[in-house]
Chains A and B, each alone.
Chain A
Amino acid sequence: PKPPRGYRTSPPRHLYPPALYEPAVSPRQPCPLPPRRFRPLPRPTVRPLFLMANALDVAVGAALASSGVLIFVAYTFWAVVLPFVPKESWLHGVLPPRKWALYLPMIALAGGVALIAAFIVGMTRKKAAKK
């Protein structure tokens, strides 16, 4: 779009006297040296254009991810959603009692800590036996 007709590019000289607003130093002299240009480096490695993954890795990874999602959805439904469905539903008889929604994470936590402790103790014993 075009600027309006009275548009000024320089400030009015009676309001902005050049003696005050001119720079104190003169313009910089141009550099006598030629401009610096460097030779481009060669490409370091030649990589394949596609990325492939191991089939076993994909299978195990998919199993882990899907089990994680499944466990989360099932536990959330059992522990959080189930109290809000009516008491006369057939679900309440089919699914285990909700006190297990509290016991299973406790058991899992205790079991996990026990596993880690056993691993550490085994490692220290092996180290002490080797020494």
Chain B
Amino acid sequence: QNFRPTRTTHHNSMAIHSLLLAFPIAGLYVAACFGLFSDLPPPANELIILLPWFMLVTFGCYSLTRIGIGLATFPECPNAAQDLQEDLKRAKQSLESRGFTF
């Protein structure tokens, strides 16, 4: 007897199907905006409504901080800059010879 293995979905589609979780959460949030959690103590309702925007602000601040730290701690490498410029020139020449326009 040949049995089917337990899990038959491909991991690629499993990853995309996990995004379907966003719909119930968005529905819960819209319901919370319209008063689903009103019977809880007052700070709880406000914090639930605020949560996605707080996450957005946190992500923005974290990325800003990380970019700032990277910019401040990146060491100078003029040799690499020179090589990069020459590479860019050569790449542009070769691509324009083949017909790409920039």
Contact = CB atoms under 8 A, between A and B. Distances in A.
A109 B55 CA distance: 12
6 contacts: A53-B72, A57-B71, A60-B72, A68-B68, A69-B61, A76-B54
Nearest to B52: A105
Between B49, B61, B73, the greatest number of chain A beta carbons within 10 A of the residue's beta carbon is seen for B61
Given A54-B76, A64-B64, A72 B71 contact: no
B71 A51 contact: no
Contacts of B58: 72
Nearest to A62: B72
A67 B68 CA distance: 9
A26 to B, nearest CB: 47
A76 B72 CA distance: 26
Contact of B64 (A68, A83, A98): A68
Interface residues of B, number: 28
B75 interface: yes
B72 A102 contact: no
- Counting from the closest, the 7 A-B pairs by CB-CB distance are A61-B72, A64-B68, A65-B68, A61-B71, A51-B75, A68-B64, A68-B65
Interface of A: 51-54, 57-58, 60-69, 71-72, 75-76, 79-80, 83-84, 98, 101-102, 105-106, 108-109, 130-131
Given A102-B49, A106-B53, A108-B60, 20 more contacts: A53-B72, A60-B68, A60-B72, A67-B68, A68-B62, A68-B64, A68-B65, A68-B68, A69-B61, A71-B57, A72-B58, A75-B57, A76-B54, A80-B47, A83-B42, A83-B43, A98-B46, A102-B53, A105-B57, A109-B56
A61 B71 CA distance: 5
B34 interface: no
Interface of A is mostly: helix
Contacts of B64: 64-65, 67-68, 71
Best-buried of A52, A63, A79 by chain B (most CB within 10 Å): A79
B70 interface: yes
Contacts of B47: 80, 83
B56 A105 contact: yes
